[in-house]
Amino acid sequence: MQVLSGKDVAMSVLEHVRKEAVIFGEKYGRMPSIAVILVGEDPASQTYVAAKKKSALELGYGHKDYHLSVHATQQELLELVRELNADDDVDGILVQMPLPPHMDENCVIDTIDPAKDVDGFHPVNAGKILLGRSSLVSCTPKGVLRIMDHYGIRTAGKDVVIIGRSSIVGKPMAALLMQKGRDATVTVCHSCTLGLKEHVRRADIIIAAVGHPHMITADMVKSEAVVIDVGITRVTDLTKKKGWRLVGDVDYDNVAPRTSAITPVPGGVGPMTIAMLMENTLQAAQERKREQKGENA
């Protein structure tokens, strides 16, 4: 059984991004730049934003922080997004989700310039993924593929079962795996799937992305399957000094011995999401400059 360390892969990705960003900076006179907008005081969102800022600054990226009150209006948020769309020194825009209940997340995502949509959530980018065209790809699915590529896990001709149909992970993951070159046979399971265990047990590759602790148990996994655990949930654990620990959708201790390869939680897919965000920001910067100079013509 091989442990698929997303942490190790992320370090490799970020080192490559660092080198490419320096080349970009030397060519264009500035480093790639990302603007991050946080609305409200959600502790988890604050933690995520801080981690993204740390990574950007370590790479030498330009970074702009915007923290709006939980009472800010949607119009105020949209006006800020439009300002950043028009700012030529900003290559990537990220609005941290979730937003307060009075804001329409889809409307906000739709307002972001697709060329600066480094989260890969805009309908234009999502549509391009489905059509197999070049685009900014949603960070978590992109990170999953990078882990598999790094460890030489082939998907061609394999039965892949994805548990979870979110627009952030499940749907783009399925679209990417079906593309020519990946050539997987994909089944997407969800809360209304009948006979979930039977679907999962025939999978060569299982991708769990539902946020339900230890939902995937050993009796659901066939021998030598590859298991990618995207889920991450904080659960109470009084044996820990902090009183909690992070677990995935997969019952790791019991499932791991049955697999040929598996991602841990933490240290698996999680670190890849930020690494892919940094890579997407570099990609957005490069493509915008090429477009401006007519190099794509």
In angstroms, rounded to a whole number, what is the distance separating the alpha carbons of residues 15 and 275? 10
Instruction: Mark the ranges of the chain whose per-residue pLDDT is less than 50.
Output: 297
**Model pLDDT, residue 244:** 85
Let me know if residue 61 belongs to a domain. Answer: yes
The reply to whether 104 belongs to the active site is no
Q: Answer yes or no: do 80 and 180 share one domain.
A: no
The response to whether 132 counts as a known ligand-binding position is no
Distances (CA, A) of 262 to 1, 56, 153, 189: 8, 28, 11, 19
The response to whether 133 counts as a known ligand-binding position is no
Q: Which one of the listed residues 91, 113, 117, 119 is annotated catalytic?
A: 119
The response to whether 34 counts as a known ligand-binding position is no
- Where residue 70 sits, what CATH number does that domain have? 3.40.50.10860
β-bridge mates for residue 163, sequence order: 189, 208
Q: Which one of the listed residues 52, 128, 158, 171 is annotated catalytic?
A: 52
Contact by Cβ (8 Å): 246, 240: no
Residue 92: domain span: 27-113
Q: Answer yes or no: do 59 and 98 share one domain.
A: yes
- Where residue 217 sits, what CATH number does that domain have? 3.40.50.720
Contact by Cβ (8 Å): 276, 12: no
In angstroms, rounded to a whole number, what is the distance separating the alpha carbons of residues 285 and 31? 9
How many separate domains does the chain show?
2
Let me know if residue 217 belongs to a domain. Answer: yes
Q: Answer yes or no: do 92 and 153 share one domain.
A: no
The response to whether 232 counts as a known ligand-binding position is yes
Which residue, 100, 166, 185, 141, is CA-closest to 276?
141
The reply to whether 74 belongs to the active site is no
**Model pLDDT, residue 295:** 62
Query: Cβ contacts of residue 270 below 8 Å, gap of 6+?
Result: 6, 232
Burial class, 220, CB count within 10 angstroms (exposed 0-12 / middle 13-18 / buried 19+): buried
Neighbours of 177 (CB within 10 A): 22
Q: Which one of the listed residues 96, 128, 158, 251 is annotated catalytic?
A: 96
Q: Answer yes or no: do 235 and 192 share one domain.
A: yes
**Model pLDDT, residue 297:** 43
Render pLDDT for 12-68 as a digit per residue (tens, 0 to 9): 999 999 999 999 999 999 999 999 999 999 988 999 999 999 999 999 999 999 999
The reply to whether 128 belongs to the active site is no
Q: Helix, strand, coil proportions of the chain in percent (round to 5)?
A: 45, 15, 40
Q: Answer yes or no: do 172 and 79 share one domain.
A: no
Which two tokens mark 189? 């399971």
Q: Answer yes or no: do 167 and 101 share one domain.
A: no
